[in-house]
Amino acid sequence: GVRKEPTRRDLKEAIDDLLAGRPVAQAETEVDGCLITFEKERKPLEANFTEHVAPILKKHCWECHQAEGMAPFALTTHKQASTRAAMIAEVVTHGRMPPWYASHEFGPFVNRRGLSDRERAILQDWAKIGAPAGDLKQAPEPPKAAESPWRIGTPDLVLQSGEIKLPAQGDIPYQYAILPHVFVEDTWVQAVQIVPDQPGLLHHGNLGYANLAEGFNEKNFITGQVPGGEPMSLDAGVAYCIPKGSVLALQLHFVASGKPEKTRVSVGLRYPREAVQRKLRNMQLTTNKFAIPPRAPAHRVAVTRTLTDDVVGVGLFAHMHLRGKDMSFLAHRPDGKSETLLVIPNYSFSWQMPYRWQPGTMRLAKGTKLECIAHYDNSPFNPYNPNPLATVRNGPQTHHEMMFGFFFYTHAEENLGIRVDPKTGIRAVELKIQ
């Protein structure tokens, strides 16, 4: 058993003896426990940029770390990478890069980022041995700077907001823009992208549709633009339907640059080239009824929704603000079994990414209860916390909070067979020959 109280306090008595100038009565004590095996120092790998490092950077990093890419600097040449070799080794050692905030225990997700143990060791050892170049004539060609901001390919329709004026300083209230186009018929889109003319001013934007029948409604969300996000680009046979009589509306969260600004935001749409078999839908697991107490280190907010149809999951997305700590998605199936779909143990407001399943693999039956659980860190130990003494409620600004879990899906047995005019996105008229 274990004693409730110690019979000796050897460390205290040794310190007392030392401070009193007496010989330490018990200089050593026997230690019980297991032997600890320390990692043996290994010989660094003989890695160079051309043969070993550049292929890893190309595979995992160049998507963002290239000229005019999303990252703040490029890593496509030996000079660029070698001057940051120690930093590269440090961020991959601690798992901060490549960015992936979800647990690897759940999924799998097709857009998962991560290095193998060997890839990580190569980058670490390359930094240790001085970041040698190798034969740079044989190095992979850096990617060419994108000629267009459109990651979805050339849009079939581009809509642009009017000019938006921004103040030099302070919190900027959400801006709203109605895009100048009425969809006179149901219009099917397979790819959608939001592109600001000054990306540094827009923190995030949400796109939805509005019409006379429904007005503005959060459930009519189509897609968004966030740091680390991806434009909507759906698999063949899947498309989103913008209803007849609708217009598109943007909700935009800008940040001040220190001087007055004028900006515009564009939206590009691409129509399907193949028959549409399934309609993309989304369910929002959200609530605005919460109050995070001052100094709370892990305040829990949870939401459940029940599926009314058999569905196939497309992906998940989480959105919180600076106090967002973690978010989990669970599925409680009608047969009583529960499954964890996604755990984001280290949510990042600065890099919000979707988590997409392999198409057709995540099937959930009618009656499944989806549960989204979020925790918020309002303590002084949260380095991003604007004010740990505040009671934090739902609100649009960064110093407020939000709780949004998005579940994107299609109906499992849907087989629409809709042919779309690739020039308009409208259902093609099938002519019958007499």
Tell me the per-residue pLDDT of 97-107, one tens digit each, with 9 for 90 and over: 999 999 999 98
Across the range 189-201, mean pLDDT stands at 95
pLDDT for 411 beyond 70: yes
Burial 57-69 (b: 16+ CB within 10 A, else e): bbebbbebbbeeb
Tell me the per-residue pLDDT of 293-313, one tens digit each, with 9 for 90 and over: 999 999 999 999 999 999 999
Residue 430: what pLDDT? 54
Q: What is the mean pLDDT of the chain?
A: 93
pLDDT for 53 beyond 70: yes
Residues 365 and 309 sit within 8 Å (Cβ to Cβ): no
Tell me the per-residue pLDDT of 254-274, one tens digit each, with 9 for 90 and over: 999 999 999 999 999 999 999
CA-based angle 289:290:296, to the nearest 5? 180
Residue 432: what pLDDT? 43
Q: What is the percent of the chain where pLDDT is above 70? A: 98
Rounded to two decimals, the pTM is 0.84
* Strands annotated E in 307-422: 311-319, 324-332, 338-344, 355-356, 362-364, 369-376, 392-393, 404-411
Confidence class of residue 423 from pLDDT cuts 50, 70 and 90? very high
Residue 217: what pLDDT? 80
HSE value, Cβ hemisphere, 13 Å, CA-based, for 307: 27
Tell me the per-residue pLDDT of 130-168, one tens digit each, with 9 for 90 and over: 999 999 999 999 998 878 899 999 999 999 999 999 999
pLDDT for 233 beyond 90: yes
Least confident of 203-207, 324-328, 385-389: 203-207
Residues 412 and 307 sit within 8 Å (Cβ to Cβ): no
What are the two backbone dihedrals, phi and then psi, of residue 100, each rounded to the nearest 5 degrees? -160, 110
SS3 317: strand
Least confident of 79-93, 96-110, 381-395, 398-412: 96-110
Amino acid at 217: N
pLDDT for 20 beyond 70: yes
Across the range 219-245, mean pLDDT stands at 94
Confidence class of residue 1 from pLDDT cuts 50, 70 and 90? low
